[in-house]
């Protein structure tokens, strides 16, 4: 038997409904009920339970409810403390010639550094530097070439005091990047692509984002056959978090990412996004990335990459409204502005007189 809890019935002003809601993972969101989902012998049973009655949840669900309501620790990236009680923006900085959205845009270290500094000035809390495209069909980049692309950019950004994440699945790149000043590892293979990645991440003693992909081979989009994408991804991430924790990386340093667009159909992606709050049951901060992805084009008359701002903003805010702690985006200033407006609405709701 497998048990899941999905926070639902979000409450705008919990102070007006004393005891009827619970705070979600220390964020600015309160939920009034959970969807209790039990899967057993090929059957899925669902029921809704108000928060006020959650003391009566089955024993298998009680630890999950505790994880839903436990605040997430701040992320320590170098000398920076990134609080997760409010949504944060991670800016995407690709120093590659072939990334699906901005490949070749930053063709010199100085230009990439300037772009990263500009994103930080626009409100990005973290800059995610990547030196290898993982779009469908992209070739694997030799470790040395990837290091040559990212290392000078990371050194330059670190000198400016920027919080930096390295977007890589290779141990050698992780080592070089963290030595150069990166304070977080964002691995689309969840430390499975390279046999040495887990040891490198453990030695770096920094936050690590574990993303779901159906394959940890050279093609992360390979496969993608799911019995039920929502629970398959959840179970995979749950097992991976447990394995990484058992290998010596504390759960408080782990973030999870459902891997929107990686080996998933449009329907799969929509299911994951609509049910994103389920993943708080894993007890780790959620990193969400759907910026400019092909699903936006699929839903908007095949809009090209450069015309996907509206969809990117909506998906980012859909994630924020389900408690995602970090949204990974190309369009930093626009996303930061959207979150500021959302924050204003939340502040007004949370301070309204009872």
Could you tell me how many residues make up the chain? 354
How would DSSP label each residue in 206-222?
S-EEEE--S--SS-TTS
- Catalytic residue flag (residue 328): yes
Provide the H-helix boundaries in 34-136.
Answer: 62-69, 109-121
Vertex 119: Cα angle to 115 and 122 (nearest 5): 140
Angstrom distance (rounded) from CA 224 to CA 339: 32
Task: Give me the catalytic one of 72, 293, 308, 346.
Answer: 293
Structure tokens, 286: 């959620």
Q: Is 26 left (phi over 0), alpha (psi -120 to 50) or beta?
A: left
What residues pair up with 12 in beta bridges, in sequence order? none
Count Cα atoms within 13 angstroms, Cβ side, for 200.
26
Angstrom distance (rounded) from CA 117 to CA 69: 35
Contacts of 298 (CB under 8 A, 6+ apart): 266
List the one residue out of 298, 65, 118, 115 whose CA is nearest residue 130.
115
Vertex 64: Cα angle to 60 and 65 (nearest 5): 110
Structure tokens, 168: 């890589």
Sheet-wide strand order for 208-211: 254-257, 208-211, 184-187, 164-167, 126-130, 88-94, 326-329, 287-288
- Please say whether the beta carbons of 160 and 118 come within 8 A: no
Task: Give me the catalytic one of 170, 292, 328, 346.
Answer: 328
Angstrom distance (rounded) from CA 181 to CA 160: 11
- Catalytic residue flag (residue 293): yes
Which residues form the catalytic set? 293, 328
């Amino acid at each position: 038997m497998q048990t899941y809890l999905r926070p639902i019935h979000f409450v705008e002003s919990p102070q007006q409904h004393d005891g009827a809601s619970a705070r979600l993972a220390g964020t600015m969101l309160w939920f009034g009920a959970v969807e209790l989902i039990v899967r057993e012998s090929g059957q899925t049973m669902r029921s809704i339970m108000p928060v006020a009655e959650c003391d009566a949840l089955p024993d298998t669900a009680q630890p999950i409810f505790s994880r839903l309501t436990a605040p997430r620790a701040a992320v320590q990236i170098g000398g920076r403390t990134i609080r997760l009680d409010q949504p944060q923006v991670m800016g995407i900085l690709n120093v590659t010639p072939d990334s699906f959205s901005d490949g070749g845009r930053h063709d010199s270290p100085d230009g990439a550094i300037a772009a990263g500094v500009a994103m930080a000035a626009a409100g990005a809390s973290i800059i995610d530097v990547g030196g290898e495209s993982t779009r469908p069909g992209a070739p694997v980049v030799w470790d040395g070439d990837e290091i040559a692309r990212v290392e000078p950019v990371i050194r330059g950004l670190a000198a400016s005091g920027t919080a930096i994440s390295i977007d890589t699945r290779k141990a050698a790149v992780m080592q070089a990047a963290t030595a150069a000043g990166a304070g977080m590892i964002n691995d689309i293979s969840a430390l499975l692509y390279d046999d040495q990645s887990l040891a490198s991440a453990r030695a770096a003693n920094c936050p690590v984002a574990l993303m779901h992909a159906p394959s940890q081979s050279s093609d992360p989009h390979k496969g993608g056959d799911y019995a039920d994408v929502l629970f398959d991804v959840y179970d995979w991430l749950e097992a991976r978090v447990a394995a990484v924790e058992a290998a010596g990386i504390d759960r408080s340093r782990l973030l999870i990412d459902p891997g929107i667009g990686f080996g998933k159909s449009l329907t799969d992606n929509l299911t994951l996004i609509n049910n994103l709050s389920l993943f708080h049951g894993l007890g780790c901060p959620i990193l969400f990335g759907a910026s400019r992805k092909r699903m936006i084009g699929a839903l908007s008359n095949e809009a090209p990459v450069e015309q996907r701002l509206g969809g990117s903003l909506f998906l980012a805010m859909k994630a924020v409204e389900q408690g995602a702690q970090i949204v990974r985006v190309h369009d930093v200033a626009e996303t930061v502005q959207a979150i500021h407006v959302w924050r204003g609405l939340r502040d007004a709701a949370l301070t309204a007189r009872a």
